[in-house]
Amino acid sequence: MIPIKVASASLNQTPLQWAGNQRRIEAAIGEAKDAGVGLLVLPELCTTGYGCEDAFLGPDVAKRAWAMLMDLVPQTTGMVVSIGIPVRRRGGLYNTACVVADGRIAGFAAKEHLAGEGLHYEPRWFKSWPNHQVVELERDGERYPFGDVFFDFSGVRVGFEICEDAWVAQRRGALDGHAMDIIVNPSASHFAFGKNAVRERLVLEGSRSMAVTYVYANLLGNEAGRVIYDGGCYIAQNGKMLAQSPRLTFDDFVLTSAVVDIEASRTEQVRTTSFKADSTDPGVKKISVGFELPRAPMERSQPQVPTWERSDHHKEEEFMRAITLALFDYLRKSHSRGFVLSISGGADSAAAASLISLMVERAIGELGPDRFAEKLGLDPRPTVRDWVEQLLCCAYQPTDHSGDVTRHAATGLAKALGATFYVLDVQHIVESYERLIGDAVGRPLNWEDDDITLQNIQARARGPSVWMLANMRGALLLSTSNRSEAAVGYATMDGDTCGGLSPIAGIDKAFLRHWLRWLETDGPEGMHPIPALHAVNVQTPTAELRPQGSDQTDEGDLMPYPVLDAIERLAIGDKLPPADCLEILKSEFSDEDEETLRGWVKRFFRLWSRNQWKCERYAPSFHVDDKNLDPKTWCRFPILSGGFERELSEL
């Protein structure tokens, strides 16, 4: 046997936060060393943070990352550590893993396949490294191997796939026929619903097909604002999962380790008839390092999977855990002192308020009250409710068109959560604007001629007061548009879109309403449901902007939300033209007549193309699935276009 203890670490880093990033890397290295780890893999670009954007293009980022690397190198005595770092070389910036062995740099593996789709934009900043090419990096009077390399530590071979290198059709895998003992993958793989299952299969299949130990590291938390990383570190050997980390935790870092027998993989390679034996000369690709990975006592590894991961309500749990982690990181990394929310008594604002309360409860449960307060830079509070009262301020802002149902729902939920709560009647503000414009144009405004104008001024009149509360409290103002409404511009700009962060803009209304019903009756594992949501869940969604008695509903203004979400999926996600969308809808919604469906398709495409300027102005949102409509990270569409005029006329 050749037993070696390997480990991967998830890290909650922040772009360009040099001292903090270094401190967390040092802590992970120190814990791994204390645990007897021989090989430690840290995430992709962990020195700088993955989301540095165009800051990568300037010279300072790479210089500071190199200075950090020089501080880290001496701390690796007695072990091997892979450290993600951007490196400038002769007119190119490269995404690399620096391999440090026993306090000395052994070389740099450079990323070959750059992620350039969806929310990833690596080709803007980095050059891809050519396959089979190995050169020298000259730095500070030293020369280091650089490029498409693998490392031989006294007979134990370690190869690299850096994130996207493992997701492409032709994986680097065993490095073109050179049999490896260990493949490591330092990644920055973003969260999306169900993506962890794909990632897990990728690791398992890599370990099985190449008959190796596969060590996968990933980032953790809301690193740069929009993107959430769930951690999700894995260690597998020969198609069997040995260890995996908990996901979506509030930790600074999580270390995941297992003892592997190198001989077991070599035996599997010999045993497997389809495995191609290594008969090639590795040439310069092989970097021989005069360091022997320390041997470790054999341990029986059994991955610990949290029970919520196996729950029948996995998506509901995953949504809650992803958004609460993202809210916590956004709060502390923006140095804000809480959240302010205009709570309407409807589903969207109720979801946002509930998520903040759940964030407090989750974070205190995981971190403890002292670490929770320390991370936020605030004085401790005795109970969870005291923390919610400090961190969440809700304001119900009625006009004459607001009803008792929504007032009761908003008041009851805020009280149940423990939030600071105000009622700010804005009717007199609305009337003053109506008089101001009526006097200017020489006629009173009326609902027959000025429907949209009179609706919108009610939403806009609510903005200044909640902005004032946010300013007074040093807090983040949240806007509450969901993805379904954002797709068709069903929001008043500078009204209900007021805010610096839009936490639910990445999720569709149908799922959100389902999630609220689950939260009312069941709730997350180990936490409590919120029965006060019943008053929200029994309502028919309405903006309450037309006079009472007009029976205004959101779906009446638009279309049924399940239909809207289906059209969005087909038109925006699958890029289908209107005619194809209609044909599929006729099958999916066979109880609706064709003319009604045709009208809804036309309405969606017209509103989608007409309201792209609104998408550009929505507050930042969190990416939770690959149907995101954020034009800055995922879904680009022209602000000005032909509006599908010909396509809809053909329909």
Q: Write the DSSP string, 296-365.
A: -----------GGGG-TTHHHHHHHHHHHHHHHHHHHHTT---EEEE--SSHHHHHHHHHHHHHHHHHHH
Yes or no: say if 181 and 217 are a contact pair by the CB < 8 Å rule: no
Element (H, E) at 25: helix 18-34
Q: Is 574 helix (H, G, I), strand (E, B) or coil?
A: coil
Mean pLDDT of 425-433: 97
CA pseudo-torsion sign 404, 405, 406, 411 = positive
* Closest to 212 measured CA to CA, from 168, 154, 149, 150: 150
Question: What is residue 274's predicted lDDT score, i.e. its pLDDT?
Answer: 78
Residue 462 has pLDDT above 60, yes or no: yes
Phi/psi-derived region of residue 8, left when phi > 0, alpha when psi is between -120 and 50, beta in every other case? beta
Q: How many CA atoms lie within 13 A of 587 on its CB side?
A: 4
**Strand ordering across the sheet containing 420-423:** 420-423, 392-396, 339-342, 476-478
Question: What is residue 272's predicted lDDT score, i.e. its pLDDT?
Answer: 84
Element (H, E) at 459: helix 451-461
Question: What is residue 574's predicted lDDT score, i.e. its pLDDT?
Answer: 93
* Closest to 207 measured CA to CA, from 231, 232, 173: 173
pLDDT digits (tens, 9 = 90+) for 567-603: 999 999 999 999 999 999 999 999 999 999 999 999 9
Report strand pairing: 156-160 vs 39-41.
Answer: unpaired
For 24, list phi and psi in degrees, rounded to 5. -70, -35
Question: What is residue 639's predicted lDDT score, i.e. its pLDDT?
Answer: 94
Question: What is residue 132's predicted lDDT score, i.e. its pLDDT?
Answer: 87
pLDDT digits (tens, 9 = 90+) for 370-383: 999 999 999 999 99
Q: What is the DSSP string of 31-60?
A: HHHHTT-SEEEPPTTTTT-TT-GGGGGSHH
The neighbour count for residue 335, using CB atoms within 10 Å, is 9
Band (pLDDT 50/70/90 cuts) for residue 171 is: low
Residue 543 has pLDDT above 80, yes or no: no
The neighbour count for residue 71, using CB atoms within 10 Å, is 11
Q: Return the DSSP state at 74.
A: G
610 vs 351, 599, 614, CA distance in Å?
A: 28, 16, 9
Mean pLDDT of 227-249: 97
The neighbour count for residue 106, using CB atoms within 10 Å, is 22
423 vs 149, 205, 377, 400, 469, CA distance in Å?
A: 64, 57, 29, 14, 12
Question: What is residue 23's predicted lDDT score, i.e. its pLDDT?
Answer: 98
Residue 230 has pLDDT above 70, yes or no: yes
Mean pLDDT of 63-78: 98
* Closest to 308 measured CA to CA, from 299, 300, 317: 317
The residue among 643 and 178 whose pLDDT is bigger is 643
Mean pLDDT of 251-268: 96
Beta bridge partners, 150, equal 286
* Closest to 173 measured CA to CA, from 196, 150, 144, 199: 150
Q: How many CA atoms lie within 13 A of 495 on its CB side?
A: 21
pLDDT digits (tens, 9 = 90+) for 25-66: 999 999 999 999 999 999 999 999 999 999 999 999 999 999
What distance in Å separates the CA atoms of residue 642 and residue 504, rounded to the nearest whole number?
A: 30
CA pseudo-torsion sign 362, 365, 366, 368 = positive
Q: Is 160 helix (H, G, I), strand (E, B) or coil?
A: strand
The neighbour count for residue 611, using CB atoms within 10 Å, is 18
> Can you list the domains of the chain with their CATH numbers?
3-304 (3.60.110.10), 308-553 (3.40.50.620), 559-651 (1.10.10)
What distance in Å separates the CA atoms of residue 175 and residue 173, rounded to the nearest whole number?
A: 5
Residues 6+ apart with CB under 8 A from 23: none
Question: What is residue 317's predicted lDDT score, i.e. its pLDDT?
Answer: 97
pLDDT digits (tens, 9 = 90+) for 448-457: 999 999 999 9
pTM for the model stands at 0.95
Residues 6+ apart with CB under 8 A from 300: none
Q: What is the share, in percent, of the chain residues with pLDDT greater than 70?
A: 99
> Would you give the distance in Å from CA 291 to the centre of its chain?
38
Residue 176 has pLDDT above 70, yes or no: no
What does the block give as tokens for 648? 């809809």
Question: What is residue 302's predicted lDDT score, i.e. its pLDDT?
Answer: 80
Question: What is residue 329's predicted lDDT score, i.e. its pLDDT?
Answer: 98
Question: What is residue 177's predicted lDDT score, i.e. its pLDDT?
Answer: 64
CA pseudo-torsion sign 432, 435, 436, 437 = positive
What does the block give as tokens for 113? 């396949």
pLDDT digits (tens, 9 = 90+) for 599-641: 999 999 999 999 999 999 999 999 998 778 888 888 889 999 9
Q: Is 164 helix (H, G, I), strand (E, B) or coil?
A: helix
* Closest to 491 measured CA to CA, from 460, 449, 523: 460
Q: Return the DSSP state at 190.
A: B
The neighbour count for residue 306, using CB atoms within 10 Å, is 15
Residue 174 has pLDDT above 80, yes or no: no
Phi/psi-derived region of residue 175, left when phi > 0, alpha when psi is between -120 and 50, beta in every other case? left
Residue 361 has pLDDT above 90, yes or no: yes
What distance in Å separates the CA atoms of residue 576 and residue 357, rounded to the nearest whole number?
A: 40
